[in-house]
Amino acid sequence: MPVLDIKNLILWYRTRKGPVHAVDDISFALEPGQTIALVGESGSGKTSTANAILRLLPKNVLRYEGKVVFDGQDVMEFDTEEFRKVVRWRGISMVFQGAMNSLNPTIRVGGQVAEPLMVHYDVDRDEAADQAIEALGKVGLSADTARRFPFELSGGMKQRVVIAMALILKPKVVILDEPTSALDVMTQTNIINLLKELKNTEHLSYIFITHDLGLASELADLVGIVYAGQLVEVGPAEGVFVKPKHPYTGKLLASVPRLRSEAAPDFIPGAPPDLTDPPPGCRFHLRCPVSFEKCGWSAPEFIEQVRLLQILEETKNTVPAIEAMTAKGAQNLLIKPVANGTVAEFAQRLTSFIAQNQETYRFLKSVESVQAKTKVVEVKLYESTPPPLLGGDWRASCWLLAGAGS
């Protein structure tokens, strides 16, 4: 039985621009003693996922749904007080991003580590202090560290203190939110080794949030690739890292510089999508090198891409002259040609341009038909839905895997 089973977790924020789909239908399960690495770009929703699990919500929450089954109980049903008592720190604890800022500068380290104890159990000061020293010992810090203030410690020591704080209530699951992001490589390795050791001695399950694929491969049993608030691929680490199924995972792995390789690291063109208005279909299709008919191009996106072609050096002379383009619904658009020749001729030219260029500019593949009307050409695009997350233990959401026809 999984210690943590997350089903269809949704966390949307309300902003002035509209709802931000920070966590949009994320599901994964974590067996006891397992580590899942959530990997993704900045702003992809990794930390929001962690916050959603621990119910650390800001004020502007719009939607917060789904099931978080911890130890057989759906903790989403708990009220705030019950959640605080059962889940927070006793069941699931967290190591925050940037340990240097996670410590109260006015409390001594010992007191800080003992804080969760004193908040949750009615322990007296001396006993709490003893337990804090014990916890500090587990993370490799000496007892006299307890009497120091956070500013007297180095970055690595602070990180160890934060880990000690996360372990003091003996939780089953620890969320590690970029635990090493501000540390130098030597200290990173130390911390990762410490985490590995603790995992075995304390029987912990980790949710390891990082953007560093190298670190993820060190620690993870499972890997979840997060893109635009969704899991696009989740599976065993040895599989995902060696032979990724999703094109995004592939591009991500290719972007890691390698020590003894002539090839320059690859990059992904474009920027992560705006989560207030996520793209339809597969959210990665705009940047995907292998996108095709089914991936979900919409008329406004199509228009934007055509405008790009009109100014690109390679294509600006070959694109048929267009006077105006208007989207008509999500899948249809009307193109008004510049008045030289008939509409039918223009449709001809457009079709042949599409046929010639669709391997280079893959959005052109989404054109289902080109029809000449009286004054305009109507272009119809393929309809699409988001690709399902398919597969057994190793799932990915990509139409390439689902099969073109289904």
Work out which of 120, 148, 336, 380 binds other proteins, going by CB under 8 A. 120
Residues in 242-261 at the binding interface with other proteins, rule: CB under 8 A: none
Beta-carbon contacts of residue 228 (< 8 Å; ≥ 6 apart): 21, 24, 44, 45, 272, 273, 275, 278, 279, 283, 284
DSSP per position, 199-252: HHHHT-EEEEEES-HHHHHHH-SEEEEEETTEEEEEEEHHHHHHS-SSHHHHHH
Total residues contacting other proteins (rule CB under 8 A)?
25
Token pair for residue 171?
């939780």
Residues in 48-87 at the binding interface with other proteins, rule: CB under 8 A: 54, 56, 84-85
Work out which of 15, 105, 328, 375 binds other proteins, going by CB under 8 A. 105
389 by DSSP, 3-state: which? Answer: coil
CA 153 from centre of chain: 32
14 by DSSP, 3-state: which? Answer: strand
Q: To the nearest whole angstrom, how small is the minimum distance from the Cβ of residue 94 to other proteins? A: 5
CA distance 21 to 405: 29
Work out which of 82, 119, 242, 329 binds other proteins, going by CB under 8 A. 119
CA distances, 215 to each of 38, 201, 223, 312, 325 (Å): 11, 20, 11, 39, 47
* 4, 68 Cβ separation under 8 angstroms: yes
CA distances, 120 to each of 115, 235, 324, 388 (Å): 9, 36, 65, 42
Q: To the nearest whole angstrom, how small is the minimum distance from the Cβ of residue 266 to other proteins? A: 34
Q: 98 or 239, CB closer to other proteins?
A: 98
CA distance 397 to 220: 21
Q: 118 or 402, CB closer to other proteins?
A: 118
Q: To the nearest whole angstrom, how small is the minimum distance from the Cβ of residue 167 to other proteins? A: 11
Q: To the nearest whole angstrom, how small is the minimum distance from the Cβ of residue 362 to other proteins? A: 42
Q: To the nearest whole angstrom, how small is the minimum distance from the Cβ of residue 111 to other proteins? A: 9
Q: 35 or 102, CB closer to other proteins?
A: 102
119 by DSSP, 3-state: which? Answer: helix
Q: 55 or 287, CB closer to other proteins?
A: 55
47 contacts other proteins (rule: CB under 8 A): no
Work out which of 21, 46, 88, 365 binds other proteins, going by CB under 8 A. 88
Torsions phi, psi for 377 (to 5 deg) = -105, 130
Q: 115 or 266, CB closer to other proteins?
A: 115
Give, as one character, the DSSP assignment of residue 41.
-
Q: 99 or 288, CB closer to other proteins?
A: 99
Residues in 132-191 at the binding interface with other proteins, rule: CB under 8 A: 162, 165, 169
Q: 50 or 335, CB closer to other proteins?
A: 50
Q: To the nearest whole angstrom, how small is the minimum distance from the Cβ of residue 110 to other proteins? A: 14
309 by DSSP, 3-state: which? Answer: helix
The number of beta carbons lying within 10 Å of the beta carbon of residue 267 is 9
Contact positions vs other proteins (CB under 8 A)? 54, 56, 84-85, 88-89, 93-94, 96-98, 101-107, 115-116, 119-120, 162, 165, 169
